Amino acid sequence: MRNVFVLNGPNLRRLGTREPDVYGSRTFDDLAALCRETGRRLDLHVEVRQTDDEAEMVRWVHEAADGRVPIVLNPAAFTHYSYALRDALAQRTAPLIEVHISNPAAREEFRHTSVVAGVANGTIAGFGLYSYVLALQAVAELLAEESAR
């Protein structure tokens, strides 16, 4: 069973109470359970983490790079300005999928730019918590392709 980190940035622990019209009514614990269950179905061991601290996020990305651990990343507000996170992600050694619950392109102008998208395998956005399911499926497929080589 392959390890995968599902890393979440600022304010995502507040799911369920934070702007439910944008992010829905399901909680962070619901998200974590969904990711772990999806991982079990895909033969992945999923570790879900959340931080409001940019330095901690960068340390987790370094940990993933050192361990060749794939990442599903919702950088949240870090998406739009964290060059430190982008530079850490550029050191990745395994698949990286950027994920967003809402569709940033359909929201405020400042949300239209992702500084991390350029170093990710791809971005999945706008499908609510199901975005994470799709991202984990993408990781599983990328790992299968990698193993077939």
Residue 7 in 3-state DSSP? Answer: strand
Of the residues 45, 62, 81, 100, which is catalytic? 100
Q: Is residue 68 very low, low, confident or very high in pLDDT (cuts 50, 70, 90)?
A: very high
pLDDT at 106 over 60: no
Question: Is 5 a residue whose pLDDT tops 70?
Answer: yes
Per-residue pLDDT at 43 exceeds 70:
yes
- Could you confirm whether 83 is annotated as catalytic? no
80 annotated among ligand-binding-site residues: yes
Whether domain 2-148 has CATH 3.40.50.9100 = yes
Is 101 annotated as a binding-site member? Answer: yes
Sequence spans of domains, the chain? 2-148
Selecting among 23, 81, 83, 130, the annotated active-site residue is: 23
Terminal alpha carbon distance of the chain: 19
pLDDT in tens, 16-30: 887 666 666 789 999
Q: Is 74 annotated as a binding residue?
A: yes
Average pLDDT, the chain: 92
81 labelled catalytic: no
Would the pLDDT of 110 be above 80?
no
Of 43, 56, 45, 44, which is closest to residue 7 (Cα–Cα)?
56
**Rounded distance, CA 38 to CA 41, Å?**
5
Say if residue 18 carries a ligand binding annotation.
no
